[in-house]
Amino acid sequence: MSLLRAFIAVEIPSSLQKKIQESTAGLRKTLGNELIRWVPPQNVHLTLKFLGDVSSFSLELIKQMLTAEAAQYPCFEMQVEGIGSFPNPRRPRVIWVGLRAPAALESLQRGIESASARLGYAADEKSFSPHLTIGRVKQNLSALEIQRIRAALEETKIGLLGVVHVDAAHLFKSDLQPSGSVYTRLFSAKCGGLSAKSGGLSAPIGKR
């Protein structure tokens, strides 16, 4: 039985992926590729649920689940702004660009998480913190190198880059190639109801 690595995510328009690339050009130039594995702009997305290895039989069940869950939640808009790191600035492991989104996003994510658990996929132990990963810090760096990353992040400011209109959740497969991961959209499930465009926006994760 063939398996593929799959995840559920919100797509980021190519125009915004380009703006993220442009707004972080200075940071990427300062830190280079020796300290950070940078995410290619076309791979920047908002993960709602990482499923892991999935069989072709399970794909149909996942599509049915995703269709049913997405239809229960309204379309909404997210603002892209801010920059930071996980788990914290002193121990950066993931570099992210922040998101502001209405409660509809967390409701959608919780619904997909719960429905995935019913299909047998393990629940994520980490709480959901909406963000767009743009880089991953390499392992075994010296304290001086970590300080260099921290200082560069502190000097980088990213204002509002744009708005993402979310009207669907997407199922992707991930293929690891010598040049890096290649993501392919397999299926899209439309959200239902009226758009949640304003009010109730959560702060970017770095400002909570």
Q: Which of 19, 49, 100, 131 is catalytic?
A: 131
Q: CA gyration radius for the chain?
A: 17
**Cα(149)–Cα(83) distance, integer angstroms:** 13
Cβ partners under 8 Å of residue 71, min gap 6: 189, 190, 191, 192
Q: Which of 19, 45, 49, 100 is catalytic?
A: 45
CA distances from 41 to 38, 45, 134, 178 (A): 9, 9, 8, 17
Torsion of CA 164, 16, 159, 105, to 10 degrees: 30
131 noted as active-site residue? yes
**Cα(104)–Cα(124) distance, integer angstroms:** 19
165 noted as active-site residue? no
How is residue 173 written in tokens? 């497969």
CA distances from 178 to 36, 67, 175, 181 (A): 17, 33, 10, 8
Across the strands, what pairs with 7?
Answer: 50, 172
Active site residues per annotation = 45, 131
